[in-house]
Amino acid sequence: MRILDTFDEELIAQLRAQDEFFWLDLIAPSAEEIQRIGTALGWHPLSIEDTQRMGQRPKLDVYGDGALLVLQAAIAAHPEDENDHPLEEVHCHLTGDYVITVHGGRFTDLSQVRTLLQNSTSPKTERYYVYKIIDVIVDSYFPVLSDLDEEINALEDAIVAGGGRKELQQTFGLKRLLLTLRRAVVPMRDLFARQVEVITDLAGLEADSHDYFRDIYDHLIRITDELDGYHDMVAGCTDLYLSMVANRQGETSKQLAIIASIFLPLSFLTGFFGMNFDWSIAHVLSGPWSFFLLGIGSMVISGAIMWWWFRRKGWTGNDE
């Protein structure tokens, strides 16, 4: 078993002549390089075209004894709601003689696995390498899910503490991210549910390879379930935000209603004395003390009574 990171046509021809399985990991190759590699290895023209263009949805296309497996790997970022490019497309060309992966430079997990396998001294079978490559692509979603769990919990706390427009924008960002991830994971889950036997039937792979791919399918089901759960949590954050806004509006309306209620008797008293001003100063408010006692005093007493009544009903305190 050989692991390569550059295309050496003579070495690869030698490995194929010796019937030695190899893994070639290509990072951001040009269209000309893909054409040269595909021609040398006898790839189907459609397989070469798909790899040159990228932008493919997760799929499995079989061409004779080989297959093109297109997967989407996840790229973590901090914070996740500002992750504008959370996916990295990975093309896996599979046969019983080799596996060739093509991906961009942002996805470094395959490079780490390549180094780990190169340093390993225990013998590995071909099916293990194929499984390990696909497994590391699928497992790249778990760090993103871990970050999402922390961010959603922090978002809920921020909204309860009185979040504003920033938290609302963060909620929408997380919704978009979750939908993007789900559009990538669900096709991969369906692919391994229906077409995993196609990979195991490739010439050269052992018959028990489906045991490895069943583990990948289980991981995809778990990722899908967690994405659905996080989507419900983010939707709950939206409902929580709207509820908090409604509560604040209710508190403001209640405060305005209390102020209006207090000023209602004051308006009546000032209106009454104003409309009967001549009679009041001739018969009632004839002295300074009567003015303060009957005029100002009645207004203070009415306001105090209203405030006492509101306090007794519990309308002036908070809801805790």
The conformation of residue 293, written as its DSSP 8-state character, comes to: I
Contact between residue 234 and residue 175 where contact means Cβ atoms under 8 Å apart: yes
The pLDDT confidence band at residue 289, using thresholds 50, 70 and 90, is low
Q: Is the pLDDT of residue 39 over 80?
A: yes
Question: Confidence band (pLDDT; 50, 70, 90) for 121?
Answer: low
Q: How far is CA 187 from CA 39, 56, 70, 138, 194, in A?
A: 29, 12, 10, 12, 11
What are the φ/ψ torsions at residue 91 (nearest 5 degrees)?
-105, 125
Mean pLDDT of the 246-268 span: 74
Question: Residue 203 — pLDDT band, cuts 50, 70, 90?
Answer: very low
Distance CA 25, CA 251 (A): 61
State the average pLDDT over residues 245-266. Answer: 74
HSE-CB of 168 using CA atoms within 13 angstroms: 9
Q: Is the CB of residue 188 less than 8 Å from the CB of residue 71?
A: yes
Q: Which H helix or E strand runs over 22?
A: strand 22-27
Does residue 222 surpass a pLDDT of 70?
A: yes
Q: How far apart are CA 68 and CA 48, in angstroms?
A: 9
DSSP 91: E
For the segment 196-213, the average pLDDT, to the nearest whole number, is 62
Average pLDDT score, the chain: 82
Rounded to an integer, the average pLDDT of 46-54 is 90
Q: Which residue has the higher pLDDT, 300 or 185?
A: 185
Average pLDDT of the residues in 114-140: 80
Return the pLDDT at 201. Answer: 66
pLDDT tier at 275 (50, 70, 90 boundaries)?
low
| 165 pLDDT tier (thresholds 50, 70, 90) | confident
User: How confident is the model over 49-61, as a mean pLDDT?
Assistant: 90
Find the angle CA(142)-CA(143)-CA(149) to the nearest 5 degrees. Answer: 90
| Confidence check: pLDDT of 5 > 80 | yes
Give 126's pLDDT tier (boundaries 50, 70, 90).
Answer: confident
**Positive or negative: CA dihedral 95, 31, 106, 123:** positive
Q: To the nearest whole percent, how much of the chain has pLDDT over 90?
A: 27
* CATH code assigned to 2-245: 3.30.460.20
Domain ranges in the chain? Answer: 2-245, 276-313
In whole angstroms, what is the distance from residue 144 CA to residue 154 CA?
A: 15
What pLDDT score was predicted for residue 32?
92
Query: Around Cβ 272, how many Cβ atoms within 10 Å?
Result: 12
Give percent above pLDDT 70 in the chain: 84
> Does 317 score more than 90 pLDDT?
no
